[in-house]
Structure 1
Amino acid sequence: MPSLNPVILSLMLLALSPHQIIPASAKAKPARHKQAASPAAQAFDAGEYDQVIRLYQTARADGAQTPSTELSRLALRSYARLGRPEDAWPLYQQLIPDGSPDDLPLLREIAWATVTSRMRDPQEHIRLAAFAVVAESRMQDVGPLLEDSLLDPSVVIRAKAAEAIGRAKLTSRAGTLIRALDDRAPSVRIAAMTSLGELGVLSVRERLIEIARREEGPESVFAAGALIRLGREDMLADVLGAATYPDAEIRMAALGVLGRLKRPTTLSVLTQAVYDPDPSVRAFAAGALGEFGQKSGLSALTHALADEDARVRAIAATSAGRLGGPHIRSLLQPLLRDADDFVRASALEGLVRAGDQDVLLTAAHLAKHAAPQVRAAVAQSLAVNGYKQAIPLLEQLVRDPQPQPRLAAARALGHVGAPAAIPALKKALQDSEPAVRITAGGGLLRVIDRGRTRTS
């Protein structure tokens, strides 16, 4: 409720107590005019960020005065809006010295600029790092960025953009997905079909029926999967039939579709697939069982945990951790002594996901492995929401001499999601490798936004 004007309040009091004498201190004072906005504030509000920076630089050049806090803040935000986080960061350090409580809104602006300023970087791996952050973001304004990524020269980014639009339920972007059905890369077309099915875009049914009839490879299977989501239940028989095709790629496509559809009547097809003669199909089946999410698939995963192929064992360990259950620890603990380093890291991830709190010693041991990809796998295994105990180890890995573990550790710190991860992420925001800085920016966004959600 707005506060009452002092004059009106005085009259109301007089009306209630006509013989009361109002003290002089209670008499109405002339209303003060709102102070006019500074030139820098006016320029910022008008979107003239270059002008704000000029005003700041002029004030700095004038030896007789130092820029005000307001001007410094506006300059920082202007640098961020212009996609120049490397210029914004020194200002943040001036405004918020080490040991002071962070200004989370300012820090968030720098983090977002660190990500979005690299969305069109010439190097694919840097664009991919930026895109990965945007694709995971739950912000409402990421739609245009994902849509723009569908035009990226990288096939990987285009495919992941199509998938991200579906996962984010951005129905308003369905038109771009329909155009992606004509993409030259099969993986992009498949991702577009899957997302159109998940979004329930009925207008593409005839187009998908044509693809399902015309194509003979995995595309026809994914078209059938999208049609099932759009109400064509009869297409489920086609997907089940594809799971027994001689072609291993078609079998894998069918298992992938069934894993995402999560129809209880098809679980037996996935459980049988862990016995497939092709190790790639067995690995796909193990991953699909984790995606399916039914604890009744754990017996099949138990078989896969003893597979002769290391990749099958590793994926089965991660999937088993996703399913959870009272016996997970006894199933996965032996894999911590597996001959394959990546199987041990996957078993670690499975145990962490299952809530095992006693695996950090194994993680610390693996984190000293000579191979940087193994140290990165350890960091990835600790990327579980709320696993605060992992922060000290991830702080070590974010200072690793190799960029791969640093990138994985920065991502994991964001997924842990605890405010205690912010100091390490701030250090990673100054990393020499752009992809690590981008990933750290994404981690800060996750931590800050999660805190805002909890307090709102």
Structure 2
Amino acid sequence: MVIALSSRVRRSSAALSLVVFLSVTTPALVTAAPDAAALFKAGDYAAVASLYRGLDPDGRPSKELSRLALLSYVKLGRPDEALAVYQRLHPAGQAQDPVLLHPIALSVITSRVRDQKEHVRIAAYTALAELGLPETTAILEDGLLDSSVLVRARAAEAIGKAGLAAQSGALRRALDDAMPTVRIAAINALGDVKATDVQRRFIEIGRTEEGPEAVFAYAALYKMGRSDMLADITSAATLPDPEVRMAALGVLGRLKRPASLAVLTQAVYDPNPQVRAFAAGALGEYGHPGGVAPLTHAIGDDMAIVRSVAAGSLGRLGIKENRPLLHALTRDPSPQVRANAVEGLLRLGDASAILLAADLARHPDPSIRGAAAQALGAAKDKQALAVLQQLLQDQQPLPRLMAAKALGKQPAGAVPLLIKGLQDSDEAVRIVAAGSLIHQLAREAPPKRRPSP
């Protein structure tokens, strides 16, 4: 009798403890999300994060509170903590949420635009240039004031790709930058949008400058309707300065004018190997079947750099009859040439080249492993994901970086790997993975709404 009573007392005590526990914890879980919503709406993101961290570690915050905490970490420029919250909301193997992943990935990039290390800032602005997002306007224009020449150039390029060049006063001021690289990036961006308000400035540059800057000014004027500028660009392709010749060939390849094919063809015989390589690259960008003959000559060049670029261009022409030429180059003494030949074959839909890429992915030189990753960016076969996953775990950062970049070009299935890339030990790899993740999200599941409290 005593034992039975004692047992009932213990059960009643346990039940009472459970009731007390629920009465204490449940209201906190119910009211935390509304409180967090009010704080988030007021812009007090630190308070939202503090509210989230202050919960019982053994408790389970509501999805709404977790979402608000995640977005608050993004606003605070703390993407690592935002990603940790995301992974609790969406454990590995579950469906992903593009609407939440997008701001996390973008924060990985934007939180590094003022990093003390120049190469990290360059990586961040390069990623922004490739994305071309209008919402990053303030950051992009701020980049035009960076101490690094390459950062300023990437910022100018990004302003153009984001569709902001037509209205950007900061980009116009970049035409007075101390460094030609930045001025050229600004000229290209303004030329692409046909900014006629700076047309006189471009005419002046063409008259007074003797280097590559004048060639890009000619190209900008041509895009604005000055067809007579094509003759000046064509003439520049034969000037004594090799840098001017390379600039002119690059412009002619992008403009794709019928009369330019003969100039590009002749340039593969230039005495300067860098110019020959540039000509081979321009022929690939030109994309005309008439480029096959000069590129066939270029793949027999004495210089590996020329053969390498020519191999890639043969693939970009999209002509399947070029496969035998590229298969022959997979036996080239230079591993870089072999990597570019593999990329060319993959562009032509030859999935068997993935095995060749996998072999290069085991090369002792990390730059060649990186080249293998770059080649796999052209693959459309799921087998490429396995090799890229291996390279994403490489001991050296370069192959990991190139693998992260290549994953952004895969048709599907790369998102889980890129989420892992966001946690890489190298800042530049994380930035590249973030840019690729945004590309993948846009391709696989374009966000139709923006997260809001």
Using the TM superposition, give the Cα deviation of residue 116 of structure 1 relative to its aligned residue in structure 2, in angstroms: 1.2
Q: Following the alignment from structure 1 to structure 2, what is the Cα–Cα distance between the partners of residues 407 and 46?
A: 39
Q: CA deviation at 1:107?
A: 2.5
Aligned counterpart in structure 1 of residue 173 of structure 2, from 169, 175, 179: 179
Deviation (angstroms), 1:36: 12
Structure 1: distance between partners of 2:189 and 2:198: 11
Q: Deviation digits for residues 301-343 of structure 1, max 9, x if unmatched?
A: 1111111111011111111111111312111111111111111
Aligned 8 A contact 1:259 1:292 in 2: yes
| Residue number in structure 2 paired with 1:38 | 34
- What is the aligned partner in structure 1 of residue 108 from structure 2? 114
Tell me if 1:427 matches 2:423: no
Q: Normalization by structure 2: what TM-score? A: 0.88
Tell me which residue corresponds to 1:32: none
Deviations 1:62-121 (A, max 9, x none): x7x553332222112211221101212222232223333223322223212111111111
The match for 2:332 among 319, 327, 338 is 338
1:53 aligns with 2:53: no
2:285 aligned residue: 291
- Is 2:404–2:433's contact at 8 Å kept on the other side of the alignment? yes
- The one of 205, 221, 227 equivalent to 2:221 is 227
Select which of 354, 364, 373 maps to 1:360.
354
Match of 1:134 among 111, 117, 128: 128
The answer to whether the 8 A contact 2:120-2:427 is kept is yes
Tell which deviates more after alignment, 199-208 or 132-141. Answer: 132-141
What's the counterpart of residue 140 of structure 2?
146
1:164/1:85 CA distance change after superposition, 3 Å: closer
Aligned to 2:258: 264
How many Å apart are 1:385 and its aligned residue?
6.9
Cα contact 1:417–1:446 (8 A) shared by 2:
no
Partner of 2:437: 444
Deviations 1:277-306 (A, max 9, x none): 111110111111112122221211111111
- Aligned position for 1:95: 89
> Taking CA–CA contacts closer than 8 Å with sequence separation of 6 or more, which of the two structures ends up with the larger relative contact order?
2
Hey, what's the Cα distance between the residues in 2 that align with 1:360 and 1:161? Answer: 35
User: Hey, what's the Cα distance between the residues in 2 that align with 1:244 and 1:299?
Assistant: 21
Cα distance in 1 for residues equivalent to 2:84 and 2:102: 15
Is 1:202 the counterpart of 2:196? The answer is: yes
CA-atom RMSD, angstroms?
Answer: 2.1
TM-score scaled to structure 1, two decimals? 0.87
Contact 2:351 2:379 in 1 (8 A): no
Shift of 1:138: 4.7
CA–CA distance in structure 2, aligned partners of residues 221 and 170 of structure 1: 23
Q: Give the total of aligned pairs.
A: 419
User: For structure 1, which segment, 130-139 or 164-173, has the greater mean C-alpha deviation from structure 2 after superposition?
Assistant: 164-173
CA distance in 1, matches of 2:305, 2:73: 46
Question: Per the alignment, in what secondary structure is the counterpart of residue 122 of structure 1?
Answer: coil
CA distance in structure 2 between the aligned counterparts of 1:432 and 1:119, rounded to whole angstroms: 18
Relative to structure 2, which stretch is displaced further, 65-74 or 49-58? 65-74
CA contact (8 A) 2:70 2:82 kept: yes
Q: State the identity as a percent.
A: 54
The Cα shift of 1:387 comes to: 4.0
Shift of 1:213: 1.1
Does the 8 A contact of 1:410 with 1:425 survive in 2? yes
Q: CA deviation at 1:208?
A: 1.2
Residue 9 of structure 1: aligned partner: none
Describe the SS at the equivalent of 1:38. helix
Maintained 8 Å contact 1:147/1:173:
no
One-letter amino acid of the counterpart of residue 232, structure 1: R
Q: For 1:69 and 1:219, how far apart are their aligned partners in 2?
A: 54
Distance 1:173 1:352 in 2: 40
In 2, the alpha carbon distance for the partners of 1:123 and 1:282 equals 35
Q: Does 1:376 align with 2:370?
A: yes
Conserved? CA contact 2:349–2:379, under 8 Å = no
User: Aligned equivalents of 1:370 and 1:60: distance in 2?
Assistant: 49
Q: Which moved more, 1:433-442 or 1:305-314?
A: 433-442
1:312 aligns with one of 298, 306, 310: 306
Q: Which residue of 1 aligns with 2:319?
A: 325
Matches within 5 A, 1:242-253: 242-253=236-247
Structure 2 equivalent of residue 408 of structure 1: 402
Change (3 A) 1:421 1:66: closer
Q: What is the alpha-carbon distance in structure 2 between the residues aligned to residue 417 and residue 444 of structure 1? A: 12
Partner of 1:4: none
Compared CA separation, residues 455 and 394, structure 1 to 2 (3 A): farther
Q: Is the 8 A contact 2:36 2:65 kept in 1?
A: yes
Gaps of 5+ in 2: 1-30
How many Å separate the matches in 2 of 1:128 and 1:247?
A: 29
Shift of 1:128: 1.7
AA paired with 2:271?
A: P
| Matched residue SS, 1:349 | helix
Q: State how far apart, in whole Å, the 2-side matches of 1:288 and 1:75 are.
A: 49
- 1:265, distance to aligned residue in structure 2 (A): 1.4
What letter matches 2:353 in structure 1? V
Q: What amino acid maps onto 2:36 in structure 1?
A: A
Query: 2:129 touches 2:161 (CA, 8 Å); kept in 1?
Result: no
